[in-house]
A and B are shown apart, each in its own frame.
Chain A
């Protein structure tokens, strides 16, 4: 009898810091492995911004002149201008795609196993977010490598390093937004709606493709929308970081938006008040 009582304690001995680290590592590792097995996803994630860079930017090179605005000290080519926007686009797509995979996971049962883990839910969701961001970083650096051969590079190699924290923060913010959306999307088919109502408006109503002063000339109210769009600030954060500078407004907005989106996503996945139970309705 005493033997059975002793064995009634599970193998995990409480959840210390080491166990949290193991859990985080496991979640990131799985995401990377899965990603490795879907290399076509990697290729398409790379082709999309490259099409913009090689075709769109080249075509508009002479149409759109970019004056000297911070962080640039000289006139820059249009390709150089839109590169931070394309980097942010990679992270935007990646964040939305990981939300798609969460909807898929939920339908398949993977989300269920994640949520029956004894770790607190905020930690599990944050780990999942970190995993998605790690994957998006690989995509961004692959893009930067190709751009380098196209002679688009930061003023000094240090830019590749200083951009990293900006990429992490922007990736977390966009991933948290995707996670929040994943709790609202009921089925996979609705992802087309996410493209139309989230990705495109966020991307086009931002400073990714054109500087805000130019937008203002055309339409002041659109410029205001752009200024309110957190994606604009993600783009600017990355743009400045590539030039070893910090845009503090962008930093504050991206950080704040990341916290709000993640907090809302955690609340949405909370069993007692979340959206989860609603979708199970008749």
Chain B
């Protein structure tokens, strides 16, 4: 491309294992005395669906704040396609799409007006916006609602537009913070199916934060986060096998149960 900076992901290990879309290395964060994250490290490869599994208060939100650079990283490094979030924020953020837990769409504006605004935030305008917005809306099956006000959409449809919004600038890495919160079973399954479809068709890396175990499939990469620490990570079926459990649900209970009793007098 016109950019003179070499693409780190292209320079290193070309042809070997697929490049890491997101690398979180030895990251710790505390609010005053309370430690929110302790030595957290994992990576998400391009074209994989990774789940960040943890209960409320496990540190998922803090981690998302660090990856999206709302807070500076206190200790450790976070890289998106090789670009340090704190040292090269612009390059890193360009490659990242984020679906926040909170709604970011203006209810009074139409779907298209919302998308135009968010495209502008990435320097995209005019015809390019129209084409791109049409494409991403089509991907989440919302193309026929482009002219409607967001207020008139259902919760699940709004979420799908949020995903379309996050994809506008063609990110290769997508973060989703509890994207199915507050949705009914049907809408939840829909969203999950759409995002899994994106991984398969577009080859983007996805980090899906959730506390819902039934959103995990056996082949997914899972990072189990509990009270700011990673208890286990790897393939869901491997984690279950290591924990000696029949599935991810019992494995999670076993892992968090063990962590909970650790250090306590018996």
Least CB distance from B152 to A in Å reads 14
Chain B residues with CB under 8 A of A113: 98, 100, 104, 118, 121, 165
Check if B171 sits within 8 Å of A26, measured CB to CB.
no
Supposing A26-B116, A26-B119, A281-B32 touch, asked if A118 and B93 sit within 8 A by C-beta, the answer is: yes
Chain B interface, >50% SS class: loop
B162-216 CB contacts (< 8 Å) to partner A: 165, 169-172, 203
- B57 and chain A: residue at smallest CB distance: A282
In whole angstroms, how far apart are the Cα atoms of A23 and B120 in the complex? Answer: 5
Chain A 118-162 near chain B by CB (<8 Å), digits 1 or 0? 111000100000000000000000000000000000000000000
**Residue of B65, B104, B124, B172 with most chain A CB atoms under a 10 A cut-off:** B104
Given contacts A22-B123, A109-B103, A114-B121, contact A37 B109 (CB under 8 A): yes
Please report the C-alpha to C-alpha distance between residue A172 and residue B68 in the assembled complex, in whole angstroms.
Answer: 28
Whether the Cβ atoms of A112 and B125 lie closer than 8 Å is no
Residue of chain A at shortest CB distance from B126: A22
B100 touches A23 (CB 8 A): no
Complex contact B104–A112 (CB within 8 A): yes
A27 touches B120 (CB 8 A): yes
Residues of the B chain whose Cβ atoms lie less than 8 Å from the Cβ of A15: 90, 123
B contact residues around A8 at 8 Å (CB)? 7, 9-10, 19, 46, 81, 95, 172
B70 CB-CB contact with A under 8 Å: yes
How big is chain B's contact interface, by range? Answer: 35 or more
Instruction: Please measure, in the bound complex, the distance between the C-alpha atom of A14 and the C-alpha atom of B119, giving whole angstroms.
Output: 14
| Other-chain residue from A119, A272, A280 in contact with B121 (beta carbon distance below 8 A) | A119
The answer to whether B121 touches A10, judged by C-beta atoms less than 8 angstroms apart, is no
Q: Is A277's CB under 8 angstroms from B71's CB?
A: yes
In the bound complex, CA of A110 to CA of B32 (Å): 27
Asked if A74 is at the interface of the complex by the 8 Å CB criterion, the answer is: no
A24 to B123, CA, bound (A): 9
Q: A33 within 8 Å of B by Cβ?
A: yes
Q: B1 near A: Cβ within 8 Å?
A: yes
Residue B219 is within 8 A (CB to CB) of chain A in the complex: no
Asked if residues A4 and B109 are in contact (CB atoms below 8 Å), the reply is no
Encode contact with B along A21-34: 1 for CB under 8 Å, 0 otherwise. 01101110110011
Bound form: Cα–Cα A22–B125 in Å: 6
Known A-B contacts A118-B89, A277-B31; A12 and B104 likewise in contact (beta carbons under 8 Å): no
Q: How large is the interface on A (under 10, 10 to 19, 20 to 34, 35 or more residues)?
A: 35 or more
A117 within 8 A of B: yes
As a 0/1 sequence over residues 123 to 159 of chain B, the CB contacts with chain A under 8 angstroms (1 = contact) are 1110010001000000000000000000000000000
| CA–CA, A10 and B89, complex, Å | 15
A115 on interface, CB distance cutoff 8 Å: yes
Beta-carbon contact of B122 and A117 below 8 Å:
yes
Could you tell me the distance between the alpha carbons of A8 and B106 in the complex, rounded to whole angstroms? 30
Given known contacts A12-B94, A12-B124, A26-B120, A108 and B103 CB-to-CB distance under 8 angstroms: yes
B102 with A282: CB separation less than 8 A: no
Hey, what's the 0/1 contact readout for B50-94 against A, CB within 8 Å counting as 1? 000000000000100100111110000000010000100111011
A9 to B19, CA, bound (A): 13
Instruction: Kindly provide the distance from the CB of B194 to the nearest chain A CB, expressed in whole angstroms.
Output: 20
- Chain B residues, CB < 8 A from A109: 100-104
Chain B residues lying within 8 Å of A281, measured Cβ to Cβ, are 31-32, 34
Chain B residue nearest in CB terms to A107: B102
Q: Is A10 a contact of B203 with CB atoms below 8 Å? A: no
Task: Please give the distance in Å from B199's CB to the nearest CB on chain A.
Answer: 13
B contact residues around A114 at 8 Å (CB) = 121
A residues less than 8 Å from B27 (CB atoms)? none
Query: Are B125 and A117 in contact (CB-based, < 8 A)?
Result: no
Instruction: Tell me which residues across on chain B come within 8 A of A29, comparing CB atoms.
Output: 116-117, 120
Q: List chain A positions with a Cβ less than 8 A from chain B.
A: 1, 4-5, 7-15, 18-20, 22-23, 25-27, 29-30, 33-34, 37-38, 107-110, 112-120, 124, 271-272, 276-277, 280-282
**Contact surface of B with A, Cβ cutoff 8 Å:** 1-3, 7, 9-10, 14-15, 19, 31-32, 34, 46-47, 62, 65, 68-72, 81, 86, 89-91, 93-96, 98, 100-104, 106, 108-109, 113, 116-125, 128, 132, 165, 169-172, 203
Please list 27 pairs of residues, one from A and one from B, whose beta carbons are closer than 8 Å in the complex, sorted by A's number. A5-B10, A5-B14, A8-B95, A8-B172, A10-B94, A10-B95, A10-B170, A10-B171, A12-B94, A22-B124, A23-B123, A25-B120, A26-B116, A27-B117, A29-B117, A30-B120, A33-B113, A37-B108, A112-B70, A113-B98, A113-B104, A117-B93, A117-B122, A118-B90, A271-B86, A276-B71, A277-B70
